[in-house]
Structures are given as C-alpha cells and as structure tokens.
Structure 1
Amino acid sequence: MQILPLSPVAADTARTPAFGTRELLAFGAGDLAFNIIWGLMLSYLEYFYTDICLFPPASVALILLCARAISIVADPVVGMVIDRRPAGRQALPLLRAGLLPFAFMIVLAFVPMGGQAGVARYVWACVTYMGLCVTYSVTNTAYGALTSLISDDPAIRLRLASARMVGAGCGTLLIAVLALPAVDWLGHGDRRHGFMLFMMIVAVVVAALLGLVATLCHERARAHRDRLPVRVLARALLRNGGWLRLTGAMILVMLGSTFMFGALVYYVRFVLGGSDHDAGWILGAMNVLGLCGSACSATLARRWGNRGLMGVGTCLCGMWLALAWLCPPSWAVTVAAMCLFGLCLGLCNPACFALLAQYVEDGARESGVRTAGLAWALNSTASKLAFDGGGSMLAWLLAGYGLVAGDHAQAVAARAGIGVGFLAIPACAFVAAGVAVLLLCPCPAREDENR
C-alpha cells in the first residue's frame, strides 16, 4: 500500500501539541499585557492630558476623536487579513509582527513634546496616540481572534475566556496600585518625566508577555482553503444576528466603562476630597473582587449559560452604580458600590467573550463561512470607538459643566458633572446592555454542551 504524504495543513496539525495548562497561562498573559495598557488609557489617559499635559478638556476630546478615526479602517483590514490567511497561520504571524512597534508606540504616546505651549504639543499628542491605536489594533485583533482559532471546543474556549479575564483583572490591578506611585517615585515629583520612564518599563513588560503568547500558543481551528472575497466574509458576518446583538450590547458596556473609569479620579479628588492615589486603591479593590468573580464565572456559566450570566451580571453592575447615584456622595457608598460592581463585572466578562466565540462558531456553521478574524476585528473596532467616543463625550461633559484643567478645586457645577459622568450615565448604559442580552440575544446552538 502506498502511503501518501500529509498536506501542509495536515502536517502542521500533526505537529501541533495538545492544548494544555502552559498554553492557557500564556494566553492569559496576553490579556494581562493588553489590560496594562487598556487600564492606563481607561483610567489615566484623560487625567494625563488634562492635569499633567494641561490640555483643555475640549482639546482632549478632539485628540481622542481624531486618533480613533484611523481604527475604523485598521481593525477591519487586520481582520480580513486574518480570515484570508491559511489555517494554522492566521493570527499569530500578525501578533509577532506587531509586537515591537506596539511597544515602541507605548513609550512615545506618553512623551510630552513641544514645551508648555504651541500647536506642536497637540499635534504630537494626536500623532503618537494615533500610532498607539494602530499598533494596538494589529496586535489586539490578532490576539482576540485566537479565542476562536486555538480550538473549536466550546469548553476550551470558556477556559480561554476565563484566563483572559484573570489576566485582564491582574493587569488592571497592577496599574491601579502601581501606576501613580511608580510615576511619582521615578519622576521625583515631576509627573511628566515620571510617566515617560514608567511607560518605558511598561513597554518592556508588555512585549515580554505578548512574546509568551506568540511562542507558546497554537492555532488548531479549521479555516477555508481558498481566499474568500471580502464581500463574502462581510455578508456572512452581517447575517449573524447573535454576533450583531452582542456587539451592540458590548458597545454599551464599553461606553459605560469609559465614563465610569475616566471620571473616577476626578470624582475621588473633587467630590470625595481624596487624592488620585486613593482612586488607585479603589481601582485595586475593585479588581481584586473582579478576579474573584472571574474565578467563579465558569462554574456559574455551566449552570446558567453564558448568555444568562452575562445578562444578569451586567444588569447588576448598573444597579450598584444607580444605587450609589441615588445616595449622597460618601467614601463608604463609593467603595462598596465599586467593589460590588467589580465582582459582578468579573462574573460576566468571561461569559461575554465565550458567548462571542460561540456566536462566531454558530455563524460559520449556518453560512459555511468562517469569519473569526473579521468578527473579532469589528467587535474590537466597535469597543474602541465606544472607548474614544465615550472619552470624548466625557471630556465635552466636563467642559460643559465648567471643569478647569489643572485646578486643585472645582466649582459646584463641575462636581455635579463629574457625578453624572461617573455614576448616572454608566448605570444607564450597563442596565441597557444587560436587558439587551437577556431579551434580544439568541441562545447559542452549543450552549448546552458547556453546562
């Protein structure tokens, strides 16, 4: 009998090791890296621009909008490239190629240039933040697609999503606890210089963590042998109702998160009368509870399903914020609300990403077209647009209520605007997202397999 040689795809599959703990930990390290950066941008970017670079809030809004416009193009292009690459080599090569440019732009985005006045400093901030957004798009879209490409097994995907959330919680916790103390220590009181040195260290750490993903993770999911036209990929994805509705709910979640985390430092300083370091400790406590929630998420998802857990958990997030909004401002109410919020967010985030992977798989089964790259890219684009759109809206809100950049005290109207941005708007966004998931998102075809 003649033994035929393996095809290149089959040969790669035969050489790929089985999924194990080492790969799971490496994958979680990837979200640890990205959430170090995401936590910095979410919690401290507007604060960096207004209170350290002394940009007026309206100028910050324009910087965020201009920089994000390029991601509208970048993310879908990366996603289409992933979907048109051969099986086993769809996302990882792009992650490896974008790793060093991403680390380089992390440093440049936090280097204030152009002195204390002049147009040059605004242009520099816009260009460097735009570069950070583009390189983040390349690496993060490739990493996100790996949730669908590492394995076709829904149980493994839920473990991957849980590992992502644990990594994300650790990354945000590190930034919450270490960022401002490290900036002050490195800069000896000069936060502009301290941020630059701190971001150099962050860039090295992020590059090393993403190197683990690029080295230890493998793609095992099936892919099309042919390079499908872009219109075929887009048509198949836009017919995926579950993906569309969940992405809409995730936009609301990101919008609410952007307002809440972006306004936290202002709320602690100007409403509660604390310091920006106190805001970091609140973030830290919230993320510790978030890690506890992520650890319990898989167990609850097997009982309630990913859709039920995400919907209920997101509604609870909004409920705690709404209750805090209805109470007079106080340290006890704020800390309790943030901790309960973090616990519920930790419970529902792994379910959210596992649910997204399930909808992508359901769409591929129904249409016969796998769109993992484009699905994760457009989902990422939507989240980033919500992030910078929310950041811009928060900046305009604070400007409209009279916030003065660099002041150590704010007027009553400015403090009222901070409260609206920190609690009222996020509460509405989270409740709306949770209701949308429970009422509009369909039950995934293979949800019963995870229970």
Structure 2
Amino acid sequence: MVPLLRTVVLATIHSKDNVCMPSSRPTVVHDVSVPFQLGLGERMSYACGDLAGNAMFGITGSYLLYFYVNVCGLAAGQVAILMLAARVVDSVADPCIGYMIDRRRLFRGRVGPYMKWFSLPLGLALLLCFIRLPVGAGGRLAWAYGTYLLMGIVFSMVNVPYGVLPNVMTRNGRDRLSLAMFRMMGATGGTFFMGAVTLPLVHWLGGGNERIGYPAAMAVIGLLGGLVLMVPAFTCTERYVLQPAHNPLRVMLASLLRNRAWVVVTVVLSLFYINLTAFYGLSLYYATAVLGRPATFGGLLISVMGIGKVLGVTCSGWLVRRIGQRATVAVPYGLSALYLVVFVSAPNRPVLLGAVFGLACFFEGMTLPVFYAMIADAIDLGAVLTGVRAAGLAYSINSFMGKVAWAAGGALSAAMLGWGGYVSGLAVQSPQARAFICMGFVGVPIFIACVSAVLVWFYPSEDEVMAIRLRAHAGA
C-alpha cells in the first residue's frame, strides 16, 4: 500500500512541478526515475558560483594565516583572536541578508542580482586582505581586522543568495541533488586551482618578494574570480518566486529550531568547515615543519585535496541511490578518518603521502553534495511541518554557522601554532610545535569525521520524510 501511495504522490508532484509557476506548497521529488528538468548548461553555470567563491574565500583560509604571521609579522596569538572575533562579528550579516531576502527588501525578492552586483567587490576585498601597509604593528593589525571583516560581509552578500538559488530554480529533487553535485565539483575545482596556482603566481609576480607577490596575485585572482562568480546571475533562471515572509522574526527562528532535519544538517555542515580550515590553514606548516619539505608541497596537498574531492563528488549520486543520504555521509566519513590515520603514520614519501591524503579527501568529497541536497530538502520539509516559510533565513543562519565554524577553525589553527611555540623563520621547529601542527592538521579532522558520522543519523530517514509528505498532501 505504501509503495502505491508513494507512486501516486510522486506522480502528482511531478505533474505540478512541470509548470514553472510559483508554488504555494513546497514540493520536492525524490524519485531518481524522474527526469532532469534543468539543462546541463544551467547546472554547469551554477557550479561557477562555488568555483570562484570557494577559490577566493578558500584563499583566505589557506594563505591568510601564513601572510599575517610570516609576511606581516603579526603574532600567531593575535591572528587567532582576529580570525575568531572578526568572523563572528561579520557572521551577523548573514541572518540580516537572509531576512532581507525573505522580506523581499532588495531586487523584488530575486536572488540572482545579489551575485551580479557584489561579485566584483568581493574580488576587491580579497585584494585588500593581502596588502601589507607600511605602518607599525598596531596599524597592520587594525588593517587586518578591517579588511578581514569586509571580506566576510561582502562574501555573505553573494553566498547567501547563491545558496537560495536551487530553491527558486527547481522543485525537482533529482535536479537539486545534481545542482549540489555540480556545486561541489565547482568548489573542489576552486580548491584545486587555489592550491595549484596561488603560490606559483605569488612567486612569479613578486619575483621572490612575497610583500609584492601576494597583492599582485590577489589582484589577478580577485578580478577573474569576480567575473566568474557573476555567471550564475546571468545564466540561472529563477522559475519560482520566493513568497514574502510576513511572520515575525521570532516565529521564523522558532520554526527553524523545530525542524530537526535542518538543525542536524546545519551542525554537521558547520563541523565540516572546521575540518576544512584545518587542512587549509595548516597545510603549509605541516609540509615545512613536520615533513621538512618546501611550502609548495603544502600547496600540492591542497591541490590533491581538490582532485580527491572532485572525484568523490562525482560518485556521490551513485552511492546515495544505493545506501541513502545518511549512510552516504556516515560511511565515507569513517573511511576518510581511517585514511587520515594511515596518512599520519605513513613514511615521508611525497607520492605515497599524496595518494593516501587524496583517498581521505575522496571519501570526504562523497558527503558534500548530500549536505546541500539535505539543506534544500530540510527547508521545504520545515515549511510543510510548521507552515512557516523561511528559506532566506534558513540559508543565512546556515551560512552564519558555517562562518562561525570557519572562524573557530581558523582560530584553532592559529592557536595550535601559538600553543606549540611555533617560531616564524626558524628552520627546525621544536618537537612540541610539530606535535601541535600535526594535531591540528590531522587530529582535528579525524575527530570531526567520527562525530559527524554519528550525528547524521539524527537526520530523518527517507521513509520519515516520505511519510511527512504523504500526510501533507493528504491534508491538502
């Protein structure tokens, strides 16, 4: 009986979703037999958003710590406080932007124009972060606070609307999973680009002078990244209109907190950002201080991470169809943790280390599309359960939590250097410094992978989600 009801409901939803008109009731098709409604070109152009956005924002996670400590001469402890304080402050911008989207305060409720108007300013903000002013240490620290804060706010003006785009592009669950996969391929492609190109570009443009090389490289990357980031604004069609939210803010927040699916995926995705900052922020230090290799090997590890995650993303849909969403997060996370243990125990051979690290990132990459598909589904599911629509606020708080996690992870990476007694410019670091760097680069991601593999089982199962949708349509 249940399979029959499932088929009837899915057929009903599919017939409604083929009409590109605003929908009063959020619906998502989860049956993988339902054909794609979005063309390949539109899905590829959507990926450009994270290709450029992840590259630019990832650069601040990978190289800004090194730039602050080794080029600007700021103390690691000061940088730890800076990254935590500035990121938490600018994270307040995310709920404000989400609230504006829900209230349709700008661009008549459309989300694409945000990316059109704020992408190039994001590239400029990236450049400003990597300028070393010819002033004293206090002035350089103040400049770092101001520019890092600006970078986060402008990034929010682009990233929150970008996250909402799938909800206004399609109601088809297969399309949404595909968009999430293309988004993650773009993001991991941006990671590969960041690791492979940034340091060579810095050294080439600066002629060996990092004070010149970093701002010159960021000017090029910021301009190209800003232009690529604008692509979804011109090529992704908003087929569904976000209905204006008239509920008070406290009611919208309460509805989100009642949405178990949204809470779980927000927490797990936030933990992922801490994991990411550990890889980004400490890769150069792990390469030089622990492995005794050039900093470029740290950049190579970042590129390997990008390649591994791209390959993992491409396998994600296949795995979801066989074991479901929750298991596609839990199982690969467990395998990723296992290979990180092998990585830290392996002999110091570049090819072997790169291969094992790539496998760890491959399994982690399988989880990424599932996160974003879960978020889109959780938002629609919450609207069914509570009757309150808060798509913009939901994505903005998700982005807010991600930024707080990013800040905490960046601060933790800097703190690891301080706690270990890392000394900039010292050829051979102390055993304590090497141990703390290793703990931050490998230990933290292992711990997060294990915790996330457990937490994801609190997300509703596919049967629970279907049962809720059946009840909702039965009462419609």
TM-score (norm 1): 0.91
Corresponding residue of 2:192? 173
Corresponding residue of 2:210? 191
Q: Is the 8 A contact 2:283 2:301 kept in 1?
A: no
Corresponding residue of 2:133? 113
Residue 460 of structure 2 aligns to which amino acid in structure 1?
A: P
Question: In 1, distance between residues paired with 2:178 and 2:422?
Answer: 44
Q: 3-state SS of the aligned residue for 1:408?
A: coil
Query: Could you report, residue by residue, the CA deviation over 1:9-63 in whole angstroms, capped at 9, with x for unpaired residues?
Result: x99879xxx7322211110000101111132122212111112222110011121
Paired residue total: 435
Within a 5 Å distance, the mapping from 1:147-226 to structure 2 comes to: 147-221=166-240, 223-225=242-244
Question: In 2, distance between residues paired with 1:285 and 1:426?
Answer: 16
The answer as to 2:85 corresponding to 1:85 is: no
Q: Is the 8 A contact 1:70 1:134 kept in 2?
A: no
Corresponding residue of 2:459? 441
Closer, same or farther in 2 for the Cα pair 1:448/1:307, shift >3 Å? farther
Closer, same or farther in 2 for the Cα pair 1:431/1:88, shift >3 Å? farther
What's the offset of the Cα at 1:149?
2.3
What's the offset of the Cα at 1:265?
1.0
What's the offset of the Cα at 1:328?
6.4
Q: 3-state SS of the aligned residue for 2:109?
A: coil
Q: 3-state SS of the aligned residue for 2:132?
A: coil
Q: Is the 8 A contact 2:91 2:153 kept in 1?
A: no
What's the offset of the Cα at 1:339?
0.8
Closer, same or farther in 2 for the Cα pair 1:362/1:429, shift >3 Å? same
Within a 5 Å distance, the mapping from 1:22-421 to structure 2 comes to: 22-85=41-104, 89-115=109-135, 117-221=136-240, 223-225=242-244, 227-326=246-345, 331=350, 334-421=353-440
Closer, same or farther in 2 for the Cα pair 1:198/1:447, shift >3 Å? farther
Q: Is the 8 A contact 1:183 1:195 kept in 2?
A: yes
Closer, same or farther in 2 for the Cα pair 1:11/1:154, shift >3 Å? closer
What's the offset of the Cα at 1:331?
4.1
Residue 270 of structure 1 aligns to which amino acid in structure 2?
A: A
Corresponding residue of 1:4? none
Closer, same or farther in 2 for the Cα pair 1:150/1:53, shift >3 Å? same
Question: In 2, distance between residues paired with 1:387 and 1:298?
Answer: 27
Query: Could you report, residue by residue, the CA deviation over 1:283-303 in whole angstroms, capped at 9, with x for unpaired residues?
Result: 222321221111121122122
Closer, same or farther in 2 for the Cα pair 1:148/1:226, shift >3 Å? closer
Question: In 1, distance between residues paired with 2:220 and 2:21?
Answer: 36
Residue 168 of structure 2 aligns to which amino acid in structure 1?
A: L
Closer, same or farther in 2 for the Cα pair 1:225/1:182, shift >3 Å? closer
Q: Is the 8 A contact 2:128 2:147 kept in 1?
A: yes
What's the offset of the Cα at 1:92?
1.8
Query: Could you report, residue by residue, the CA deviation over 1:67-122 in whole angstroms, capped at 9, with x for unpaired residues?
Result: 1122231010011111122998332232223223222211111111134x331111
Closer, same or farther in 2 for the Cα pair 1:329/1:383, shift >3 Å? farther
What's the offset of the Cα at 1:337?
3.0
Q: 3-state SS of the aligned residue for 2:240?
A: coil
Question: In 2, distance between residues paired with 1:328 and 1:173?
Answer: 24
Closer, same or farther in 2 for the Cα pair 1:226/1:274, shift >3 Å? closer
What's the offset of the Cα at 1:172?
0.6
Question: In 2, distance between residues paired with 1:192 and 1:342?
Answer: 32
Question: In 1, distance between residues paired with 2:291 and 2:468?
Answer: 47
Question: In 1, distance between residues paired with 2:437 and 2:285?
Answer: 7
Identity value in percent: 31
Structure 1, unmatched stretches of 5+, are 1-9
What's the offset of the Cα at 1:219?
2.0
Task: Report the RMSD for the aligned CA atoms in angstroms.
Answer: 2.4
Structure 2, unmatched stretches of 5+, are 1-18, 24-36, 470-476
Residue 112 of structure 2 aligns to which amino acid in structure 1?
A: L
Question: In 2, distance between residues paired with 1:271 and 1:76?
Answer: 40
Residue 109 of structure 1 aligns to which amino acid in structure 2?
A: C
Corresponding residue of 2:472? none
TM-score (norm 2): 0.86
Q: Is the 8 A contact 2:74 2:137 kept in 1?
A: no
Question: In 2, distance between residues paired with 1:355 and 1:302?
Answer: 14
What's the offset of the Cα at 1:182?
0.6
Q: After the TM superposition, which of the residue ranges 58-67 and 132-141 deviates more from structure 2?
A: 58-67
Q: 3-state SS of the aligned residue for 1:70?
A: helix
Closer, same or farther in 2 for the Cα pair 1:335/1:268, shift >3 Å? same
Question: In 2, distance between residues paired with 1:152 and 1:330?
Answer: 48
Question: In 2, distance between residues paired with 1:448 and 1:76?
Answer: 28
Residue 163 of structure 2 aligns to which amino acid in structure 1?
A: G
Query: Could you report, residue by residue, the CA deviation over 1:253-298 in whole angstroms, capped at 9, with x for unpaired residues?
Result: 2212222331111111111111111111222223212211111211
Question: In 1, distance between residues paired with 2:86 and 2:435?
Answer: 29
Query: Could you report, residue by residue, the CA deviation over 1:220-263 in whole angstroms, capped at 9, with x for unpaired residues?
Result: 23533553322222121111111101111122222122223311
Q: Is the 8 A contact 1:64 1:388 kept in 2?
A: yes
Q: Is the 8 A contact 2:102 2:244 kept in 1?
A: no
Query: Could you report, residue by residue, the CA deviation over 1:136-173 in whole angstroms, capped at 9, with x for unpaired residues?
Result: 11111111111322211111100100110110111110
